[in-house]
Amino acid sequence: MSPEKYHKAIDLYSEAIEMCVDCASYYLNRAAAGMMIGRYTEALQDSKKAVQLDGSSSKAHLREAKCHMALGSVEQATKSLDKLKEIDSTNSQYIAEQRNLRMLEMHQMAAEKAFAKGDFRKVTYDLSRALEIAPACTKFKVLKADGILMKEALNSDALFVRGLSLYYQDNIEKAQQHFQQVLRLNPDNSKARVAFKKCKVMKQKKDQGNDAFKKGRYQEACDLYTEALEIDEHNVLTNAKLYCNRANVRSKLGKLEDAISDCSSAIKLDGKYQKAYMRRAKCYMDTEQYEDAVRDYQKIFQMDKTRENRKLLQNAELELKKSKRKDYYKILSVSKEAPDDEIKKAYRKHALLHHPDRHSNKSPEEKKAEEVKFKEVGEAYSVLSDREKRRRYDSGQDLEDMQGGMDPNDIFQSFFGGPSGMHFNFGGGPGRGGYDPFGGSGFSFQFG
């Protein structure tokens, strides 16, 4: 199957996961598709999720072990295979993967011993064999490049390979030095000249962007990061950082949805980029997309189980819970920090705006809608005007035991005067007494 079809399969499984987040088989299938196109880091996360959802699945543990092995994580692969053996000791693939794991360990140890002895020919041989089992292991690739470099001394081709390795590890400055050395040895090396120019321009744009950001010139910084992102789409680690930097700038500019998009691009390039998850989660909180924020903070806590990250997750979960109930601050159109006098002023305004008598000539549906709004305004005021109730509401406690108390009409009466059952005439014409809260609208209503 072509790579495009595997990408399509990943997209379809992702859609299925959105509809059913607790289905282990969807994560396993997406992991399998990812492995086929070399996306072992993402496949590992999916396999771990499948194990979390269904710990008895031998397929999930096997796939997790294969991903760890492909990434060169011998210790973690061993743990996954041990768990597989506990669950299904007769699994035919267990023996084959155990054999691969032993071969990987053997070649890794042999390469390390050879490196210590200065036998760089054997280093490159053993690491080549190790990379057949662990094709996504950056450590093995770098060690192999080091071995080639040491074996060939000042061979320009070896220096060029080492420079590329550093370049794609986001070590731009070191890579630039290697390409410069290649050009000293071989001035006609066109590939080294192109690579050197890329390093120089990328470092320049990134540094200028960082400087503009520090000086508060956010739009300039955003433009510079954008220019840097256009230099080399294949340098995924550097681009992940550039996307994250641009996200930070865009959040400062108030472009939160664009910032979220940049963080998502960074995470797509580097699935372990915790700073990008953190920045996106903050943007989700600021835009009140609490379910997405909770998912990101869960991911962050899985990567780094600190007390601070646990607190961030708990706060997001609290805001999610609070978002699923009536927002009394929004009903009164005030901020969460509004003082008592502002709450009273807002109540007066909204109570007059939605009082049923003000809408007596409207259709039954419209009158019903205004009655509901009038009642909600009263509910909001009864909670936010009471210091203890407001404290409990702000802390996320349930509302069931807060919603009793004053009738909306009683609250209205306390603001605009008149004993219970008194008839108010709001005609506003000459010779008519009483207070008209609607400003001479010509309406009347009966309390009680």
- Of 382, 398, 414, the domain-final residue: 398
Q: pLDDT confidence of 439, banded at 50, 70, 90? A: very low
**In CATH, what number is assigned to the domain containing residue 13?**
1.25.40.10
What is the spatial distance between Cα 354 and Cα 376, in angstroms, rounded to a whole number?
10
C-alpha pair distances (Å), 224 with each of 9, 205, 257, 311, 426: 35, 6, 20, 35, 63
| Residue 297 or residue 372, greater confidence | 297
Give the tens place of pLDDT for each residue, 27-60.
999 999 999 999 999 999 999 999 999 999 999 9
- Of 123, 150, 177, the domain-final residue: 150
Hey, which residues does 425 pair with through a beta bridge?
444
Residue 429 lies in a domain: no
Cβ atoms of 407 and 378 closer than 8 Å: yes
At 385 the three-state DSSP class reads coil
Q: pLDDT confidence of 2, banded at 50, 70, 90? A: confident
Give the tens place of pLDDT for each residue, 180-208.
988 988 899 999 999 999 999 999 999 99
C-alpha pair distances (Å), 446 with each of 210, 422, 425, 428: 66, 7, 9, 17
Q: Which residues of 313-346 are buried (b: 16+ CB within 10 A; e: fewer)?
A: beebbebbebeeeeebbebbebeeebeeeebbeb
Cβ atoms of 298 and 49 closer than 8 Å: no
Residue 424 lies in a domain: no
C-alpha pair distances (Å), 190 with each of 6, 89, 170, 325, 425: 35, 56, 22, 64, 91
pLDDT, position 181: 85
pLDDT, position 152: 55
Angle between helix axes 274-286 and 307-323 (nearest 10 degrees) is 30
Write out the residue range of the structural domain in which residue 376 sits.
Answer: 328-398
Helices (runs of H) and strands (runs of E) counted in the chain:
22, 2
Residue 122 lies in a domain: yes
Residue 293 lies in a domain: no
Own/partner long-range contacts of 387-395 (Cβ < 8 Å, ≥24 apart): 393/328, 394/336
Q: pLDDT confidence of 434, banded at 50, 70, 90? A: very low
pLDDT, position 412: 63
Cβ atoms of 271 and 45 closer than 8 Å: yes
Phi-psi region of 398 (alpha: psi -120 to 50; beta: other; left: phi over 0): beta
The mean pLDDT of 50-74, rounded to a whole number, is 93
Residues 6 or more apart from 387 whose CB is under 8 A from it? Answer: none
pLDDT, position 292: 96
Count of the separate structural domains present in the chain: 2
Give the tens place of pLDDT for each residue, 248-269.
999 999 999 999 999 999 999 9
Residue 352 lies in a domain: yes
Burial of 129 (C-beta count, 10 Å sphere; 0-12/13-18/19+): middle
Cβ atoms of 241 and 170 closer than 8 Å: yes
- Of 150, 171, 198, the domain-final residue: 150
The mean pLDDT of 49-78, rounded to a whole number, is 93
**In CATH, what number is assigned to the domain containing residue 335?**
1.10.287.110
Mean pLDDT of the chain: 86
Q: pLDDT confidence of 423, banded at 50, 70, 90? A: very low
Is the predicted pLDDT of residue 420 greater than 50, yes or no? no
Cβ atoms of 427 and 444 closer than 8 Å: yes
pLDDT, position 417: 58
Residue 282 lies in a domain: no
The mean pLDDT of 80-91, rounded to a whole number, is 88
pTM for the structure as a whole: 0.52
Q: pLDDT confidence of 399, banded at 50, 70, 90? A: low
Hey, which residues does 424 pair with through a beta bridge?
445
Residue 90 lies in a domain: yes
Is the predicted pLDDT of residue 236 greater than 50, yes or no? yes
Q: pLDDT confidence of 115, banded at 50, 70, 90? A: confident
What is the spatial distance between Cα 445 and Cα 426, in angstroms, rounded to a whole number?
8
**Total residue length of the chain:** 448
| Residue 294 or residue 327, greater confidence | 294
Burial of 446 (C-beta count, 10 Å sphere; 0-12/13-18/19+): exposed
Residue 271 lies in a domain: no
Q: pLDDT confidence of 147, banded at 50, 70, 90? A: confident
